[in-house]
Amino acid sequence: MMRTRRCGPGRPPWWPDNEAWPPGDRSRAGGQRRARFFRRLRWLALAVLMLSVCGALALAWLAATFVGLAAPLPRSVGALAGGMVGAIVTAFALVGLMRRMGMPLSAVMDAADRVAAGDYSVRVAEHGSPPIRALARAFNAMTERLHNHDRQRRDVMADVAHELRTPLTVMQGKLEGLLDGVYPLDDVQIAALLEEVHVLSRLVEDLRTLALSESGALKLQTEPTDLGALTRDVARAFAPEATGRDVTLVVDAPPDLAPIDIDPVRIREVLTNLLSNALRHTRPPGSVDIHVAETSAGVSVDVRDAGPGMTSEEIARAFDRFYKGPASRGSGLGLSIARSLVAAHGGEIHASSDAGRGTTMTFTLPRDAEGRHG
């Protein structure tokens, strides 16, 4: 018969309802280590107490000798008595030190057990000696970072599930409709299904690229590339879409731009993301301006749209994973991937905007390959 562990008293309010308390061997091991630590402190305190008693007796004897109530002590015994008096002062100092260190350390150890059990919201009070306060500050900084990472992980999992659910739901409905005879089995329906498969494929590939770039495992296949020519090539690929939206694409790139060592496939992906966003947000009739320029350290590219612009909050979150503006219909990964790919080249990317006057995305790529991944 399966045994059920009963939850005893002292169950913390943050502990999950579907998990038993205490959390088993890990908690017991932490308690045993803590018990050993404080048992040693108790033995040390006992030794200090014995020294204090001996020192007090020696001090009393010296006082009696001074007022003539006792015979003077021999030189050797007097030296010993003096040492005992010193032991009193040392004992009180040690007791104060143990008290100042023991209680804060106990709080840190208790909090560490809670963090090991999965509670990243725990914090410890920063008091005690300077080293103990520094330890508490470092512990609180660690738990704050762990708490943020755990929250981001949960948010990413929820966002990924949401993004995958939409095309899967459409595909499931289409397939069920085909099987039930609601939709005719023709090229139009097959093309619609294929488009949803492409959406899933792009999303999975975007997630893979993002994971590789952020972990530093993305391998760059660099080669000398004319960034101006690459930009013009990407703009030509978007020309039909721009014409259909009544938007003009303007590329300003010097014809004699010196080649730069980049991965042209990855930088093409960056340009594609930026141009796609710019076209989507530009109100017709309007224009998207792409400016490529030589800088002291490398090459910079500006992509400016003629859209409604972005607020300061939107700019601050523009490169966050799965963040979407009010008018965005994408997955929310494009700018995050662009940032990761630019960073993998050792460059930087940022956004600037004036309300009602459009948004400019600017990225710079260094000619020096130092610091690049791959």
The answer to the question of residue 142 being in a domain is no
- Name the one residue in this structure whose structure tokens are 């960073």: 343
Single out the residue in 191, 215, 239 at which a domain terminates: 215
pLDDT of residue 301: 93
Q: Check: CB of residue 20 under 8 Å from CB of residue 117.
A: no
Beta bridge partner(s), residue 352? 360
| pTM of the entire predicted model | 0.57
Single out the residue in 196, 215, 234 at which a domain terminates: 215
pLDDT of residue 92: 58
Name the token pair of 367. Answer: 């000619």
DSSP state of 287: E
Q: What is the CATH number of the domain that holds 354?
A: 3.30.565.10
- State whether 204 and 230 are in the same domain: no
- State whether 233 and 351 are in the same domain: yes
How far apart are alpha carbons 319 and 17 in whole angstroms?
36
Residue 283 corresponds to which amino acid? R
Distance (Å) of CA 310 to CA 320, 322, 323: 15, 17, 13
pLDDT of residue 20: 62
- State whether 204 and 294 are in the same domain: no
In the chain, the number of structural domains is 3
- State whether 250 and 174 are in the same domain: no
- State whether 76 and 170 are in the same domain: no
Name the token pair of 84. Answer: 């005992």
- State whether 233 and 354 are in the same domain: yes
- State whether 188 and 291 are in the same domain: no
The answer to the question of residue 374 being in a domain is no
How far apart are alpha carbons 19 and 88 in whole angstroms?
51
pLDDT of residue 233: 92
- State whether 242 and 360 are in the same domain: yes
The answer to the question of residue 310 being in a domain is yes
Long-range contact set of residues 199-202: C-beta below 8 Å, sequence gap at least 24: 199/167, 200/164, 200/167, 200/168, 202/331
pLDDT in single tens digits along all 374 residues of the chain: 333 333 444 555 555 565 565 555 444 555 565 566 666 666 666 666 666 666 666 666 666 666 666 555 555 554 555 555 555 556 555 555 555 555 667 777 778 888 877 788 888 887 776 777 788 888 888 888 888 878 877 777 777 777 778 788 888 888 888 888 888 888 888 888 888 888 788 778 877 877 777 777 778 888 999 999 999 999 999 998 888 889 899 999 988 888 999 999 899 989 998 998 888 888 888 889 999 998 888 899 999 988 888 888 878 877 877 666 665 666 677 788 888 899 888 999 998 887 777 889 999 999 875 545 44
Work out the mean pLDDT of the chain and round it to a whole number.
76
- Name the one residue in this structure whose structure tokens are 């088993």: 24
pLDDT of residue 177: 87
The answer to the question of residue 135 being in a domain is no
- Name the one residue in this structure whose structure tokens are 């690229």: 209
Name the token pair of 261. Answer: 């060592």
The answer to the question of residue 126 being in a domain is no
CB atoms near residue 94 (< 10 Å): 17
DSSP state of 36: H
Distance (Å) of CA 316 to CA 277, 312, 327: 17, 6, 17
**Full domain range(s) for residue 188:** 158-215
